[in-house]
Amino acid sequence: MRLVIAAPHGRSGKTTITIGLIAALRQKGLVIQPFKKGPDFIDPGWLSLVAGRPCRNLDLYFLSPEKLRLHFAASCRGADVGLVEGAMGLFDGLDLEGSDSTAAVARALMAPVVLVIDATRMTRSAAALVRGFQNFDPGVSIAGVILNQVARARHEDILRRSIEHYTGLPVLGALPKKKDFGIPDRHLGLIPAAENERLHVALEATGKAIAAAVDLDALLAIASRAPELTAPEQENRPAPRRVRLGVFQDRVFTFYYPENLEALVAAGAELVKIDSLADEKLPDVQGLYLGGGFPEVFAPQLEANRSLRREVREAVAAGMPVYAECGGLMYLARRLNYRGRWYEMCGALPLDVTMSSCPQGHGYTAMYVEGDSPFLTRGSTIRGHEFHHSRVINLERREVNFLYRVRRGYGIDGQVDGILYRQVLAGYNHLYAPSSPEWAPNLVALAAGN
């Protein structure tokens, strides 16, 4: 069984409803495999937490439809339902044809779609909206509607009757206007799930609200209509452990694709978690992986952990292989400016970082590998994404090289990304291991030779 949760536009309540559906379905004893359309780290963190299984990203910018289906089927092993949260509006994509839209993902998966409608200040017009989406693309099967932000019983009644009469689609549920199960936002979206455990109470409230408001049996009946997908045969041969690779995973650094971590393990790495706030020393590792996150929010605590910052700086100086993305780049900098105050970071890279009030890079990227390095092959193109409010300043360019020439996106300055310094590759580009299959083996091999 599988289902896509989509909406006419962003901020319709997809994430809240998807979280609640997962919680409610788990209460019925079902195992749910969550997915998120598009490059995203924050929503998948919440979906992973409530599902008890790592959320996977589904993106046709990174994978062909065939590989996407195989990835989906393999990820659903042991699950009863695959539940996909869409991104933006259902048909919003990269171009006029809507390539890489949530609709394109639904077509590739042959999955029915449930449309979430924000019913604020709307009654009969909701039927016209649903009917337009219903008829827009014959290849997309919109199978039901969930109403959000319903004012009162009379409001719900006219919405239900209008939609069911004019579209023939069932209204599976209606959520009243409420704020007590909301998860607060920040400049990149929701607060990350791993950052503040006190926010986890929102999950229970959301699950209860969905269980009370949505016909789960009807929802499951829709999910069961999807034709079966064949999963690739599972390889049971574990790779020999060649290296211990330190991965910064804590409240600060939370932005990791599970596929990236699994690719490193498959290449022979033993992953050793490092807490940038609590650990005073680096463990016995031969390389480091620093993902993205919000180091600016924790800048005072990061600055206070002087011993770990010193050890990272000394490890880089001694030639330890390091791969860092976005927040990891910021942590390796000399200093970080946030809200007018400077904080000391590792000092491993000859640059400073300052935060801006607006995005400096946002969206898909295409990075042409124009330099030589042990990380990636010269002449290849790396597809990824970026979303950052920080920018690099005071960069001592004579001391560094750049691996990437920006073909799409912004990177460091709109021209280049991927700072090469000693055995460090640090940039704003977030790559996705399945679309860059040489990255993990190369990083493991480089660390093994350290």
Residue 329: φ, ψ to 5°: -60, -45
Which residue among the candidates 55, 76, 326, 346 is catalytic per the annotation? 326
Q: 213 and 331: one domain?
A: no
Give the whole-angstrom CA distance, residue 76 versus residue 12. Answer: 27
Give the whole-angstrom CA distance, residue 408 versus residue 197. Answer: 37
105 exposure class (CB count in 10 Å sphere: 0-12, 13-18, 19+): buried
Clarify whether 55 is annotated catalytic. Answer: no
Mean residue pLDDT of the chain comes to: 93
pLDDT computed for residue 57 by the predictor: 95
H-type alpha helices, 3-64: 14-27, 42-51
Which of the four pLDDT bands, split at 50, 70 and 90, describes residue 249?
very high
Q: 181 and 98: one domain?
A: yes
Q: 253 and 144: one domain?
A: no
Q: Is residue 229 part of a domain?
A: no
Domain-ending residue, one of 190, 223, 256:
223
* Percentage, residues of the chain above pLDDT 70: 94
Q: 271 and 217: one domain?
A: no
Is 296 a residue whose pLDDT tops 50? Answer: yes
CA angle 406–407–411, rounded 5-degree value: 30
Residue that is written with structure tokens 């998948």 in the block: 44
Q: 292 and 377: one domain?
A: yes
Give the whole-angstrom CA distance, residue 424 versus residue 400. Answer: 10
pLDDT computed for residue 81 by the predictor: 98
Tally the C-alpha atoms within 13 A of residue 306's C-alpha that lie toward its C-beta.
Answer: 0
Which of the four pLDDT bands, split at 50, 70 and 90, describes residue 43?
confident
Which of the four pLDDT bands, split at 50, 70 and 90, describes residue 244?
very high
Domain-ending residue, one of 156, 189, 223:
223
Q: Which residues contact 233 (CB under 8 A, 6 or more apart)?
A: none
Residue 326: φ, ψ to 5°: 55, -95
Residue with the bigger pLDDT between 337 and 46: it is: 337
Give the tens place of pLDDT for each residue, 44-69. Answer: 988 999 999 999 999 999 999 999 99
Helix (H) or strand (E) holding 89: none
Give the tens place of pLDDT for each residue, 102-144. Answer: 999 999 999 999 999 999 999 999 999 999 999 999 999 999 9
User: What is the DSSP track for 378-445?
Assistant: TT-EEEEEEEESEEEES--GGG-EEEEEEEES-TTTSSEEEEEETTEEEES-EE-GGGSTTHHHHHHH
Helix/strand/coil for 371: coil
pLDDT computed for residue 186 by the predictor: 44
Residue 136 belongs to domain with CATH number: 3.40.50.300
Is 282 a residue whose pLDDT tops 90? Answer: yes
Domain-ending residue, one of 195, 223, 251:
223
pLDDT computed for residue 113 by the predictor: 98
**CB count in 10 Å sphere of residue 178:** 13
Residue-range definition of the domain harbouring residue 110? 2-223
Q: 266 and 312: one domain?
A: yes
Give the whole-angstrom CA distance, residue 379 versus residue 404. Answer: 10
- Of the candidates 435, 418, 318, which has an alpha carbon nearest to the alpha carbon of residue 372? 418
pLDDT computed for residue 236 by the predictor: 63
pLDDT computed for residue 225 by the predictor: 96
Q: Which residues contact 131 (CB under 8 A, 6 or more apart)?
A: 166, 167
pLDDT computed for residue 234 by the predictor: 74
pLDDT computed for residue 188 by the predictor: 43
pLDDT computed for residue 187 by the predictor: 43
- Of the candidates 65, 84, 90, 81, which has an alpha carbon nearest to the alpha carbon of residue 12? 90
Is 408 a residue whose pLDDT tops 80? Answer: yes
Q: Is residue 206 part of a domain?
A: yes
Q: 188 and 318: one domain?
A: no
Q: Is residue 236 part of a domain?
A: no
Residue 253 belongs to domain with CATH number: 3.40.50.880
Q: 145 and 188: one domain?
A: yes
Give the whole-angstrom CA distance, residue 72 versus residue 107. Answer: 13
Give the tens place of pLDDT for each residue, 60-113. Answer: 999 999 999 999 999 999 999 999 999 999 999 989 999 999 999 999 999 999
Give the tens place of pLDDT for each residue, 164-223. Answer: 999 999 999 999 987 555 555 544 445 665 555 555 667 778 888 899 999 999 999 999
